[in-house]
Structure 1
Amino acid sequence: MRMEQTQWRGIAVWELQSADALARISCFGGQLLSWQPAGASEVFWCSPQLQPPRPLRGGVPLCWPWFGKHPHDPQAPAHGLARTAAWQLDRVQLLEDGRMHLRLSPLASLHPGLAVEQQLWIGRHLEQAITSHNVGSQVEPLSQALHSYFQVADITAVRLLGVDGHRYSDALADGRLELQQGDWQFDHQQHGGRCDRIYLDVAGPVILADCVQGRRLQLQAQGGRALVLWTPGPELGQQISDVGSGWQHYVCIEVANAGTDTRQLLPGQSHTLQQSIHLLD
């Protein structure tokens, strides 16, 4: 295993490589930016314009300890505090099965009642977990997401399997509940191609099928039953400075505690949200 702290696209990262995979994690936000299993192409999309202290668009931003807008403070930053904090690498080791195991934590406390840590298991498959601990004396609300930007050849030619029959809250229709019928596919006619949904009670795996690349990716959540699906579509994508024409080459599929799956942590209680990602072909 090789590990070094270096610069990638102008930001400080930890770069790790084993016989099974190459990965890069940003010191800013503790954010997994790149994962390339041996013999495969890059899994995550990342904007060519990474400009801290702005949140980094790409890889897997950590939305914590709230997802979306703060429930009570309209001045608080969207998607919480973790993705713009400095993180430290507490532990790295090569496991007997060849996977690289990392443990990371913020350099400073981000919330008076909650502590957080992240773990990564990186190899031909990827596992990622974020664990929250209530270190205070009162109940703490928690909503969060592993905000994965999956790279695709052309979003207009992908399908998401495993959501058929699930209800979803449509943020572009004032949160109206709808029922998914069939696989999800990009639809120019609905919201101009934009999609911003929270699928509810998703217990099983979902599969992202990239018909142009001929690649299928399986995503399984643990500790969360909400699945967020987001793409800006062409009009909004072109208006976002660090997206532009890149809107067509990613789709965000996020395991989450959000919507009806937000949590309340009692004093001394911990909760882990985890995702497992497998390349099927």
Structure 2
Amino acid sequence: QKYFEEVRINYKEIKVYGTPRRLILFIFHIKEKQEDIFQKIKGPAYSIAYNKDLNPQKPALKFAQSQGVNVEDLIVEDTEKGKYIFASKSIIGQPTIDLLSQIFPKIIKSMQFPKSMHWGEKSLRFIRPIRWILALYEKEIIQFNLNGLDSDNITYGHRLLAPQKIKISSTQEYFKKLEKSYVIVDPQIRENMVKTDIEQIIKEIGGEKIINKKQLKEIIYLVEYPNAILGKFDKKYLELPKDVLIEVMRKHQKYFPVFKNKDELLPLFIVIINNSRKYAS
């Protein structure tokens, strides 16, 4: 938000979305240009700016020139330190798309992660190598270069199910086109999909609905097109301490344990795949 405030770009809302392959910043109802502003700039003291005949002297002339105003338009005001001359001027706002070309590289470079990396011979550090940059203002490409990579109106679908290029002609079609290519951009929708799948499986097998919220939040950022499938393991492993089995499944395997009730595990687990169920083995 600070970058937009610094350049006086008004908008209604900013939303941030994330998947394993993409970070998305979506700005809603952004203004077409900066706010116009009125500035009053303090100049030299009146005593040195004008002579006794009220004619402007060199300090006044230089100040007017530096501010791009006519010397006749300078104004005189009383201050705590005496009389000073001021230049008042209106600054017309620049087009938003031009400013976004400057802002977006700064936003990307400012992002910090617990672990980051270099790649190739480039100096930028990021959580993973950046493969493409989609940047649009309505239907126009926001032009900039980051680390040798040009922004464009091209993105890509799901890595396995729809890896081809996708041209995004306007911001309004972004979500629909990605969904058709098996990418659910909104993590809340992915979470709802996972919960619905798990609840349906548990209902079918007669288990108890126990979903670890922390694990759920982690899982939804590991998948772009989530589907739940049921797996099983040998009953003999139920002889191990329940907490050990739960820890292994949740933390190491990223599986959801299946409970008969809150005190009893079943020899089953639910795994969330980043794929269609028909490709699950």
Would you call these one fold, judging by a TM-score over 0.5? no
Q: Who wins on radius of gyration, i.e. which is larger? A: 2
Normalising by the smaller structure, the TM-score range is under 0.3
If the length of structure 1 is used for normalisation, what is the TM-score?
0.24
| Greater strand share, structure number | 1
TM-score scaled by length of structure 2? 0.24
Between structures 1 and 2, the one with greater helix share: 2
**Higher RCO, 1 or 2 (CA under 8 Å, sep at least 6)?**
1
